[in-house]
Amino acid sequence: MGSSAVWSLAAATFAAALVEMVEALTIVLAMGMTRSWRSALWGVVAALVCLAGFTAVAGYALTTWLPRAALQLVIGSLLLVFGLQWLRKAVLRSAGRKAMHDESAIFAAQEAQARGAASEARLGLDWFSFVVSFKGVFLEGVEVVFIVITFGVNAGHVPVAVAGAAAALVVVLALALVVRTPLTKVPENSLKYGVGLLLATYGTFWAIAGLGIFSRSGDSLSWPGHDLALLVILAGWFALTRCLVRALRSPTRGAGAVPLAGSQG
């Protein structure tokens, strides 16, 4: 695996983890600031424990039960599905047909829900804060774990993928401690677009390589140029999405809808 592929792997896991962690942080901040910090933080701890177990089981299953070509086909197909979902939203937002992701609005909605929920204490905790924080961190964390495991195992560089996600965690926690408010300045829409491109690129690369499982030898197929093919695939997905944005662009763009080429697109 070349240095360019290693750096793109680290960038993909960092950006994907950053986006998911920002969304989880918004939920935890809303619960902590509105109801109970103690209960919200215990929800985070419980979610992290469950994620550790999920990571161990999923990682063992993927690396033990599937041959390499089958692993590439399955994981590549899943990454392609994830990437196309992110790209679909990015294209619609850029074309003015879908509202931009607004962390401030999400925080306000979570805060209003927290204020309106009934108080219920269990095990000495505010149960609403605990459950909402647990669900938010666990569900967003599952996506991070999936991306880290699949990228790391398939690329043969698990430490690089883990390092990318760990760096994102450090950045989010540091910013949270400094600003103590939702991270509205993070260009989340641009990050989602970029991550969608990387997920679709790696998904295409690995899924096609994994088609070798159906050959007589059962070995993975090789791309012309090997890892350099990733750059060509990335350029192809980027060109396709920009063409789709141009084709779908709304004559009258909705409020807050700005191009992906900008800081919020």
pLDDT band at 252 (very low <50, low <70, confident <90, very high): low
User: In Å, how far are 65, 81, 184, 213 from 71, measured between CA atoms?
Assistant: 9, 15, 37, 9
- Would you say residue 154 has pLDDT above 90? no
- Would you say residue 64 has pLDDT above 50? yes
pLDDT band at 45 (very low <50, low <70, confident <90, very high): very high
- Would you say residue 175 has pLDDT above 90? no
Contact present, 125 and 38 (Cβ < 8 Å): yes
Model confidence over 101-116: pLDDT tens digits?
Answer: 555 666 677 667 666 6
Give the pLDDT confidence score for residue 239 in this predicted structure. 95
Give the pLDDT confidence score for residue 47 in this predicted structure. 92
User: What value does the mean pLDDT take over residues 65-74?
Assistant: 80
Model confidence over 194-251: pLDDT tens digits?
Answer: 888 988 988 899 899 889 888 877 788 888 888 788 889 999 999 999 999 999 886 6
At position 56, the amino acid (one-letter code) is A
Q: What percent of the chain has pLDDT over 90?
A: 11
Worst-scoring range by mean pLDDT, 116-125, 133-142, 159-168, 243-252?
116-125
Residue 141 neighbours by CB under 8 Å, 6+ apart: 20, 24, 47, 48, 51
Contact present, 43 and 36 (Cβ < 8 Å): no
Q: Is the pTM of this model over 0.75?
A: no
